[in-house]
Chains A and B, each alone.
Chain A
Amino acid sequence: MELFRIKRDIPFMSYGRYTTTISLATFLLAVFFLATKGLNFGVDFTGGTVIEVHYAQPADLVKVREQLSAVDMSDALVQNFGSSHDVLIQVPIKQKQDLAGVKLSEHVMDGLRKHDTSVEIRRVEFVGPQVGNDLVENGSLALMLVSFGIVGYLWLRFEWKFGLSAIIANLHDVVIILGFFAFFQWEISLSVLAAMLAVLGYSVNESVVVFDRIRENFRTMRKAEVTEIIDNAITRTMSRTIITHGSTQMMVGAMLLFGGETLHYFAMALTIGIMFSIYSSVLVASPILMWLGVSREDFIKPKTEAEEVLP
């Protein structure tokens, strides 16, 4: 079976203007949502308490809220989590010292148990403000390290132009993922951050495969123009690109559907990242590479022919 039997090279580079407009538009849109709506940081980053409880019978959220108000917890956010039996209670960090920190979850559970003894703790997460700040710092450091690491590696393996255009394309992906999370106000947790970094590493693969072909083409297609070389490289790797991403997406899709609530946003971030990395590595990285002025001389040192003077 073969899905992509493409006879002639698709002139991707001549679409450059349109694709750049599209990516610029999505990028700006993502930035716009990030600026206006902001990110919904989870308890990992903001600090606070999350309690997941399980009831034997479907839980009545209104009643749960009332019970929490009765124990002075009216600022708690109560919602269903996964099923009607499971309830997620989120409490922001308290200023009051007596209920700060780890005591809070017991206070909440005592309040709930008074009304229904069947309630069972599934999970408690309490994160103090000190920890949250550290995580933000470590997250940014990791992002920086990955970005520089990738640029450095591609520079070594190819040329600085490749490194730069790949990282621009892939950071563009990260911004778009963040834009989605801002638009839908999905919660950013530690695992979402991990997913984004994994996407960064993974989607660079895509650019690497295309760049590899471009380099090879510079050697084999001696007469061709730079645009033809890039078009040919993209066309010939397209089938592989879509199949690979499709396979990875099958795995991630299984996670999205069967992995439960805990893995949901992790898989979601991966899904968006995979989708956009197909697009960006082809239609963002390559045009940037062209504008940076990649040429045959970057790989093949021109032979200087010495003129000989014969006596």
Chain B
Amino acid sequence: MNRYPLWKYLLILAALLAGLIYTLPNFYGESPAVQVSPLRVSLKADGALLERVEKILGAASIKPEVAALDGNSVKARFTDTDSQLKAKDILASQLGDDYMVALNLLSRSPQWLTGLGALPMYLGLDLRGGVHFLLQVDMRAALGKALESTTGDIRSALREQKIAYSGVSREGDMLLVKFRDAETRSKAEEEIKQRFNDYTLNAKEAGGEFLLQATLKPEAERRIQDSAVQQNLLTLRNRVNELGVAEPVIQQQGVDRVVVQLPGVQDTARAKDILGRTATLEVRMVDEEHQITQGAAAPFGTEMFKDREGNLLLVKKQVILTGERINDAQPGFDNRSNEPAVHINLDGVGARKFKEATRENVGKRMAIILFEKGKGEIVTAPVIREEIGGGRVQISGSMSTMEAQDTALLLRAGALAAPMEIIEERTVGPSLGADNIKRGFDSTKIGFIMVAVFMIVYYLIFGAISVLALGANLLLLVALLSMMQATLTLPGMAGIALTLGMAIDANVLINERIRDELRNGFTPQAAIHAGYDRAFGTILDSNVTTLIAGIALFMFGSGSIKGFAVVLCLGILTSMFSAVMVSRAIVNLMYGRKARLTSIAIG
């Protein structure tokens, strides 16, 4: 009765073998490495790049352990951090701006394991060190910006159709267009409805004026918010590339939040500085109709900004162009005055808008405003001499070479569609990370040894079998975590220890049952059979409840807690398999074939 068919043994053997293979990479440890990845889409990491990297390293007589292509990057592994740092500096200076050269850690596991897709567990930031940021996107600002730019578009549309209006303004979430009579209004309504189908229109009369209220449709609102987050994600990716981080994680979380994780980054101040920059660029017209009165509020429809010298300027609220339309920005010099300048290249839409604006406003001043942390500063406010087409714009004001470089970087790395604020930061230094690994590992090891000793003393042979099953459980759990590349955090390591402690419950239940049945006068074979059979229902029930807790934690937890939940859930599944199947297979192999079993060593 205590025999498994052959296929069951084979299945268990296969599972354990797979477990062993996928656990192996964790034992080899990691070596310092340098990762080279192309920053432009047009460039690919290929054999040529690999050759180039090898050549550069060879010329500097730095010998990497391995240099290989991996996805869209070339990775070179070194024996020590000294040659790693040297290699990074040389590669960064030789490869130029088109490639990102970042420090990384690479597994030392042999090629055949990597070929099987067997990688070491993916360590979370609290174990490897690094920075975690949670940023919140200001959705109201994104909507406000869309509304502001629509006011301008409505104005030019009406002007184009020669429809007389007496004003377009934004009031909260609503746009108001004013007319003198109902007839022009209905004409305008048709026109606006046709061109701006993101808005619902509503005609109203108030104070002798004929009004048209335009509000964003909910789906348009959602789309604007969504694209704002997407644009910010893209911008953040570009900025992180400027930082040179090997495996950054940049993800949307929820509706309006973005998670940025930078493993291994130690200079957190610089990371924060570059990420936290909320610089956006706007091109607007200078208002020359009104006079600036010191201390008074800016007249309706205008805003007041300071320029670099601290002089106040009145600028219209209507935005001609935003930073999104910038394709490229490079520092350089003005060809006439030889002053430092930033050369900007606009995209198609931007170029057209810019051309229109400059054509209509020859002789007037245009202001280029850089917004940082909600405060705008006028970079330059040049007079428009002529229509500027082709999308090539040059900004030169009184700036230094350094400032030109910074501004260009900021513009190139992209502007944010909406301002963002860092609402959570978790930084773990590398020394703490290493300590955490050691502590997590130590407590699991010590706990395991204590449990093992106790089980063997208490249940003798059956205890030893339980410990083997527990070992199989640990093996399978680590293998699963490595296979799924789930993030292992410190609470996750605690989860491993905890699930091991809980997993032994199944074996205790089984062993106690077998003792019970022996006491009730069953023969050893029958007792084993009944023990496993009856205990199974209980084991299932008690694991399901813990699984419920694990799933809830996974659903509502964030970051390191999620790591704990993943381990808890996986641990329960592996423990069911190993405590019931693996231990039973060992018992069957040992006792199953003995026809006249008179006693078993179960204490």
Contact = CB atoms under 8 A, between A and B. Distances in A.
Interface string B534-552: 0001100111111111111
B436 A251 contact: no
B435 interface: yes
A285 to B, nearest CB: 13
Nearest to A190: B561
A106 B425 CA distance: 12
Contacts of A124: 268, 425-427
Nearest to B572: A201
Tell me what chain A mostly uses at the interface: helix, strand, loop, or mixed.
Answer: helix
Interface in B260-289: 268-269, 272, 276
Contacts of B538: 208-209, 212
B442 A258 contact: yes
B383 interface: no
A198 B424 contact: no
B37 interface: no
Interface in B232-276: 268-269, 272, 276
Contacts of A262: 126, 436, 439, 490
B454 A247 contact: yes
B429 A123 contact: yes
A237 B512 CA distance: 8
B553 interface: yes
Nearest to B564: A194
A130 B423 contact: yes
Interface stretch (A13-21, A23-31, A139-147, A178-186): A139-147
A250 B494 contact: no
B451 interface: yes
Interface in B448-502: 448, 450-451, 454-455, 457-458, 490-491, 494, 497-498, 500-502
Given A123-B429, A258-B443, A270-B498, A251 B553 contact: no
B439 A247 contact: no
A254 interface: yes
A159 B550 CA distance: 23
Contact of A205 (B490, B498, B546, B552): B546
Given A208-B538, A263-B490, A202 B429 contact: no
A251 B447 contact: yes
B555 interface: yes
Interface string A260-280: 101100110010000000000
Contact of A243 (B421, B508, B553, B561): B508
B545 A204 contact: yes
18 contacts: A102-B422, A125-B426, A145-B556, A190-B557, A191-B494, A194-B564, A198-B498, A198-B550, A201-B547, A205-B505, A212-B538, A237-B512, A244-B505, A244-B508, A251-B450, A251-B497, A259-B440, A262-B439
> Which 4 pairs show the lowest CB-CB distances between chains A and B?
A201-B549, A251-B501, A128-B423, A205-B542
